[in-house]
Structure 1
Amino acid sequence: MKCPFCSHPDSAVVETRVAEEGAFIRRRRQCLSCGKRFTTYERPDVSFPTVVKKDGRRIDYNRDKLQASFALALRKRPVASAQVDAAIEHVEEQLLTAGVREVPSSRIGELVMHELRKLDKVAYIRFASVYRSFEDIDDFKLLVDEVRT
């Protein structure tokens, strides 16, 4: 593994741990040249379905987009990053176990809404108001009433 500090090509593994209930492996490494330590993560290389956008375009699945959606909805909310990571893992697990080659972006949106509703009601309403493209305040009120019950 190349050192992120000095770009030396060799490092030694100092410590290895299983993280997130076995979803990936966390390794502490030390550069053999500069001696600095850094962390790497190993995940299984899996093939996610292609995402079909509303306009018909097909794009590769991008975990960063999913993380950004969660981050935006949960901005300034009291939710631990471990909970967010677990929610993202759950969405990805559902995408993988669906066994399809293509998935509509609307399906991913529904999965995100489901996870956000479990994590934080305010974040859920934030995401849903944008995702569902509310036209007026009555749509918003219906969603808030739904969450209250």
Structure 2
Amino acid sequence: MKCPTCRHPSSKVIDSRHTDEFSAIRRRRECENCGFRFTTFERMELSPLVVVKKDGTREVFSREKVMDGLLRACEKRPIPYEELEKRTGNIEAALRNLNKPEITSNEIGESVMNELITLDQVAYVRFASVYKEFKDIDQLMDTLKHLAKGSDDDELQ
């Protein structure tokens, strides 16, 4: 494993543990050259999940694209990076639990929105405005009213 600072090709593992929330093995490493400490995650490689996009093209599911979307939606919001990693794992797990070799980009978008609505309403609206391609302010206002109504329902319970 190359050191991210000095690029030395060798590091030693200081600590290793399984993380349930990321379905990965977390390893703390130390560069044998400069002593810099860093963390790596090892994930089990699963069979590829193919995404069918709106235009009919297909590509392999990218966990990184989901994470990028969450990061953009949650930009300048008080949400820890670890929570976004956890939510990305939840989304991937939900999609894999569909037990289909191919999923649509719409299924990914809906899964992301399901996670965001319970995480942060501002991030949800940001993501929804791009994902649902709002054409005008009325569509945005309808979404905001729906969110406000859901919040009122929660307060009544």
Q: TM-score, normalised by structure 2?
A: 0.85
CA drift at 1:35: 3.7
1: CA distance between counterparts of 2:62 and 2:10? 29
Alpha carbons 2:14, 2:28 under 8 Å: kept: yes
1:5 to 1:139, Cα distance in 2 relative to 1, 3 A: closer
Q: 1:81 to 1:35 in 2, by over 3 A?
A: closer
User: Any conservation in 2 of the 1:48–1:95 contact (CA below 8 Å)?
Assistant: no
Within the alignment, does 1:70 sit opposite 2:42 as a pair?
no
Over the matched positions of the two proteins, sequence identity in percent amounts to 44
Amino acid paired to 1:128 = A
For structure 2, which runs of at least 5 residues remain unmatched after alignment? 150-157
Once the 2 structures are TM-superposed, how far is the Cα of residue 22 of structure 1 from its aligned partner? Answer: 6.2
Q: Quick check: 1:36 aligned with 2:36?
A: yes
Find the aligned partners of 1:143 and 1:129 in 2 and give their Cα distance.
9
Q: How does 1:88-107 map to 2 (within 5 A)?
A: 88-107=88-107
* Contiguous gaps of at least 5 residues in structure 1: none
> Which deviates further from its counterpart, 75-84 or 51-60?
75-84
Letter aligned with residue 108 of structure 1: I
How many residues are aligned here? 149
Partner of 1:138: 138
RMSD, aligned α-carbons: 1.8
Matched residue type, 2:90: H
Q: TM-score, with normalisation over the residues of structure 1?
A: 0.89
The code of the aligned residue for 1:41 comes to F
Deviation larger for 4-13 or 138-147: 4-13
1:88-115 superposed Cα distances (whole Å, 9 cap, x missing partner): 1100001112111111101100000110
The alignment status of 1:87 with 2:76, answered yes or no, reads no
How far apart, in 1, do the equivalents of 2:61 and 2:38 lie?
A: 28
The structural deviation recorded for 1:5 is: 4.0
Aligned to 1:50: 50
